[in-house]
Structure 1
């Protein structure tokens, strides 16, 4: 019996059972549905008054206050009700309609309609309640959006008076960058405290650290000059893609050389003036000076240099002449990188430059950056890139920046040795303290040893405070526990695919592939070769007219798209993302699922917009695995993940009992998990013997032939 039944029977004895059940259903919602007793009156007040005309509005409002108080008490000890089995309402209605009329008359009672509420009033009450709930939901969304908007990065810095004076006088010509004693925060979260950053001119620095610690934020603060650096040092941060317009790709790159553009424009104006018959010796002298300056900056070689950079990043001769507006976002990001490499700023800031590149372009970029003439600061989670490009590593941890000489491999060795030494020192100090304390405890009440005890106590007080060595928590990812399927799991036979029947050539032709629950297949190939298209065909997002695809009847595919993160609701919390897609489950289940991918504690209750790129990727992985797939199709899952998480992803893939098809350019991950390598190119897909090493040999050979 409902907790409101007695009150309704007592005050509305003539109320129809059907109407009473409706009112009880409205009242038995959660406290979140009503802010106060007035909300309850708005929902059911008109109905109650229409049932008993003797009740005044004041009487009904008093009853609504009683209902609201009951809800407040119940909300403190709320128990969720879950059906043991699904109820098919449509089937029940169908059965009722098909019942024999005589039988129906035994069970169905004809009721007196005299005390029923007016249907129009009932609809009006329902509409008012719905409007109230939508208004409350919108207010909540706006509040979340405002909270997200207020979370911005801030920086504070202690400036050096000597450097400030030199800067004001214009005498500071040093190309080194020294940012001392600065703090960095994002919203209420402190990212860096009393940190120091020294960038020596001509060195290449790799900035590493866990997701969410502030690497990208630090680059933005430097780029925006919210952290003070010498004004004569030019800074370029490759973060935004090139805006598309009619400018060709190669001209877009050439425009970065503003001095060359200025000189050529002036040359054109002077020649036009001279050709029109203007007689001015000063113009001829200026023209001669312009030619000298153009020769000094090697302007005649600019087009060739821009073309080499574009070709290395995957732009063939035809693509270099295409307008920038014809390229997708990924290719425009490559254009932004090409412009940066061409302009050669004093300080180049790169944030995950390999995310937009295929293996061939990554190899070219690694070779190109090894001779970079100015200062480079790059955030990357590609182990091979960090072993090849940087001369120094800066480790962001514990709200500080710690510099190391050498590449990532050397950094890891040095860091581990340093941690071992710190741990030994800590244990030695701990043992020494225990030894001294034992002496104090033994002779504390011995008069002959009183002076020794006092000196030992003072010595202990002067010893520096012991701090245990902080060990970074190991990242663990866990894919769902599933039973392997008997082969064949997936068979693709002689498929051909075109996006449009009007396309002259197919994307793929005569492709035959197969996969099982033991498959660990990695797909590689140049951008635009059709890797993501192949995955969409496999998961059924794209269909083929020619060929055949046979899937196991119990196959459940989990698909992580390349831009999966972009489809997350930025104003939603991590828990809310899962609850929206899989409603009706307890919050503990959502939090447990997020915890399997490293999103735990208060992090699970933060909005998606406040997370780092790597944390968003983990939420997307958790969302994919919520349906417990037994076959995973992953398109560039390592984008934005830190090195430790990529290692954990490799372990999770190897522990997974289902099959996996993976598109990735991360060499370390491919070597850890790959059992079979497929290469997309030349409008087909082929398996390659010798794995990644053989594919890289092919790429190096092609680069040498084209150079």
Structure 2
């Protein structure tokens, strides 16, 4: 045991040297702690030795030999601890004695201070003048060692889990965009040339940090150039999978670049256009390096003139110049490959397509709201054009014109796209394949958009149900024969034959139950027209800057109206004028005096008291009914059973939206005015909401970016543009064509 490092090497010969050194250091720390009066009292040797044992086994050590080693380590430490306690009984606790001043004076320089402390028996961190001295453990090496262990364990077991680092490692400050980008996508010259950019991750498990399993024995297969829609119920783990891919927690080849649109851009003084250009860190690095090399080449030319032509100094400078010129050639080729000369035009085109005017592109990013900063994040990803682009609900932040542009852009995306979305029309436009995540697995529907996937999935479910029912009936038939004739001498041979048949039958799982979601808006009494009418309405916060001008529209009991247009063009303002929350500067709004309106906005979901349950919240917000009546009303919106009595903090986003819908409809409204009603709902929730809208007996006016729900519900389109709102002649797909034609005439949807 004199050489602990040698013992560790023998028990775990294949482990990383950094891990071995860490274990040696950890054991030495424990050994010193057993001699320290204070630390020895707090020591749990069983736990400490188990930590070293598990560390070595996980790093690749042989289990039996590591266990023998750990037993020897425990005996040695236990003996030291026992001797220390015996010594304390004789001498008392000397750990808090004053330092010997004479010793310190003889070692009063920085070089010898550690020697002095060692002579005094002080081996741990010391407290001095009210502050703790920092530990001498190299935290960077420790972090690196633990990350290597985690990756080896994950790779060996094909189990990927959010890794929790040692408590010795403080939480690092959030990395800036450039550092994170280069860590995930290191810039290399020519290393990926000719290599396949298909992604194959075989048989892996994926967990979140709390140990909950998201995927089990799954395979990820992404063919380069395909556009995948990742679909599934809310809370199934789709975003977790995207996050694991974006951080290379799954085994993605290094030559495949990855970018994930996850968080909104942090605002600062940089212009929107420049923030897009800066997003391509490779280009920015290469341009900066190109500039530095050119400056150095100029310096070399000047320096050469100061020496004789055949001198050693000139030869050194010439060698340096040759190396720099070769590297400059590589940089130039890389920049040409990236089409660096077209970067600014490409960035401006992407921004314009996502709703940024030429003027707003020159505005500082800090002046934009959260929704517009999310658009900037999306624009940055599109501009970088990584080999694997990961998008999580990209349409939630966009209006119909921007979604139309994004769809056209992505349809010609040359690399691999993986997008999480519940927008059917969007997935029908862009997806070449669908991946269905459910029951901890991934099912692939190749060559299918959302509609074909949905019908194929239903056929698969029905087929699986038939197979399951047929097998269960066959099993029952065999079992009945076996039970009847097992002990009959004449039939026993046949019974044994059927027992063997029963044992050989494959075990089928019952098909996954489709979750049923329902919405039901209450029927309303009829009103005589006019219900709501706008005549020559103009509105603005000042008379010289009107947001709406000369609007003439009406809403009836049978109306099914979609209000569309670019963000910021006055849609929400018009809704508030209809609700009489804003008074027009001119014209007038007439409403039936008996009219009851339900007005849904995202604010209703955000303003809920999440610490209470839905029944209590509704009784406080809308008093006057019994708990049973509230529960029955919630049941009409899919909040059934115990869901109404759970704290709303535990409900999913879609379930909270259903509670908000239920609350708004307590007064049996005649008209539903809705601002983005499908946000937070998954596919089944959107289907249920669509069916409820269709069967509602009153009128509907909605602002929505979801083309599918507009197409299925609305028969009238109002368009907000150029300072007014007018009826559009055609359906939502005609409006989409109109938008794309407008963009095409300006060259916005053409790729650069």
Q: Give TM-score scaled by structure 2 length.
A: 0.67
Spell out, residue by residue over 1:583-641, the C-alpha distance to the aligned partner (whole angstroms, 9 max, x if none): 57544444333332223344444444444433332232223223432211011111222
Corresponding residue number in structure 2 for 1:244: 267
Cα distance in 2 for partners of 1:275, 1:224 equals 41
Contact 1:158/1:180, CA 8 A, preserved across alignment: no
Please, which moves more after superposition, 602-611 or 175-184?
602-611
Pick aligned residue for 2:201 from 178, 196, 200? 178
Contact 2:201/2:250, CA 8 A, preserved across alignment: no
Corresponding residue number in structure 1 for 2:7: none
Corresponding residue number in structure 2 for 1:449: 491
Stretches of 4+ moved more than 6 A in 1?
155-158, 170-173, 270-278, 281-285
Corresponding residue number in structure 2 for 1:532: 572
Cα distance in 1 for partners of 2:211, 2:650 equals 11
Pick aligned residue for 2:341 from 260, 278, 300? 300
Indicate how the Cα distance of structure 1 residues 672 and 270 shifts in structure 2: closer, same or farther if over 3 A, else same.
same
| 3-state SS of paired residue (1:522) | strand
Please, which moves more after superposition, 680-689 or 279-288?
279-288
Corresponding residue number in structure 2 for 1:569: 609
Deviation at 1:379, TM superposition (A): 0.7
Indicate how the Cα distance of structure 1 residues 253 and 394 shifts in structure 2: closer, same or farther if over 3 A, else same.
same
Pick aligned residue for 2:432 from 391, 396, 408? 391
Spell out, residue by residue over 1:241-288, the C-alpha distance to the aligned partner (whole angstroms, 9 max, x if none): 111222111100000112322233345556778999992466987486
Contact 1:636/1:663, CA 8 A, preserved across alignment: yes
Cα distance in 2 for partners of 1:398, 1:479 equals 32
Cα distance in 1 for partners of 2:687, 2:650 equals 24
Q: Is structure 2 residue 223 aligned with structure 1 residue 223?
A: no
Cα distance in 2 for partners of 1:690, 1:411 equals 28
Please, which moves more after superposition, 603-612 or 691-700?
603-612
Cα distance in 2 for partners of 1:297, 1:181 equals 34
Pick aligned residue for 1:487 from 511, 514, 529? 529
Deviation at 1:455, TM superposition (A): 2.6
Pick aligned residue for 1:558 from 578, 581, 598? 598
Contact 2:485/2:495, CA 8 A, preserved across alignment: yes
Contact 2:540/2:585, CA 8 A, preserved across alignment: no
Please, which moves more after superposition, 172-181 or 524-533?
172-181
Q: Is structure 2 residue 372 aligned with structure 1 residue 349?
A: no
Contact 2:537/2:584, CA 8 A, preserved across alignment: yes
Contact 1:475/1:645, CA 8 A, preserved across alignment: yes
Pick aligned residue for 1:414 from 456, 470, 483? 456
Deviation at 1:535, TM superposition (A): 1.0
Cα distance in 2 for partners of 1:384, 1:469 equals 28
Deviation at 1:373, TM superposition (A): 2.5
Contact 1:212/1:614, CA 8 A, preserved across alignment: no
Cα distance in 1 for partners of 2:332, 2:228 equals 38
Contact 1:633/1:660, CA 8 A, preserved across alignment: yes
Pick aligned residue for 2:361 from 311, 314, 320? 320
Pick aligned residue for 2:664 from 604, 614, 624? 624
Corresponding residue number in structure 2 for 1:76: none
Deviation at 1:685, TM superposition (A): 0.9
Spell out, residue by residue over 1:206-251, the C-alpha distance to the aligned partner (whole angstroms, 9 max, x if none): 1111223222233234334455544554332212111122211110
Indicate how the Cα distance of structure 1 residues 217 and 163 shifts in structure 2: closer, same or farther if over 3 A, else same.
closer
Deviation at 1:509, TM superposition (A): 0.5
Indicate how the Cα distance of structure 1 residues 300 and 398 shifts in structure 2: closer, same or farther if over 3 A, else same.
same
Corresponding residue number in structure 1 for 2:228: 205
Deviation at 1:296, TM superposition (A): 4.4
Deviation at 1:703, TM superposition (A): 2.1
Indicate how the Cα distance of structure 1 residues 688 and 456 shifts in structure 2: closer, same or farther if over 3 A, else same.
same
Cα distance in 1 for partners of 2:292, 2:214 equals 52
Contact 1:179/1:227, CA 8 A, preserved across alignment: no
Cα distance in 1 for partners of 2:370, 2:464 equals 47
Indicate how the Cα distance of structure 1 residues 259 and 443 shifts in structure 2: closer, same or farther if over 3 A, else same.
closer
Corresponding residue number in structure 2 for 1:359: 400
Contact 2:633/2:662, CA 8 A, preserved across alignment: yes
Corresponding residue number in structure 2 for 1:511: 551
| 3-state SS of paired residue (1:279) | helix
Indicate how the Cα distance of structure 1 residues 672 and 163 shifts in structure 2: closer, same or farther if over 3 A, else same.
closer
| 3-state SS of paired residue (1:447) | coil
Deviation at 1:342, TM superposition (A): 0.8
Deviation at 1:378, TM superposition (A): 0.6
| 3-state SS of paired residue (1:651) | helix
Cα distance in 2 for partners of 1:496, 1:215 equals 45
How many pairs does the alignment contain?
547
Q: Is structure 2 residue 288 aligned with structure 1 residue 265?
A: yes
Cα distance in 2 for partners of 1:581, 1:332 equals 34
Indicate how the Cα distance of structure 1 residues 499 and 236 shifts in structure 2: closer, same or farther if over 3 A, else same.
farther
Spell out, residue by residue over 1:401-449, the C-alpha distance to the aligned partner (whole angstroms, 9 max, x if none): 2111122223123222222322222232233223334434554564311
| 3-state SS of paired residue (1:483) | coil
Cα distance in 1 for partners of 2:243, 2:727 equals 42
Deviation at 1:344, TM superposition (A): 1.9
Corresponding residue number in structure 1 for 2:477: 435
Corresponding residue number in structure 2 for 1:122: none
Cα distance in 2 for partners of 1:217, 1:207 equals 12
Gaps of 5+ in 1: 1-154
Give the CA RMSD over aligned residues: 3.3
Corresponding residue number in structure 1 for 2:633: 593
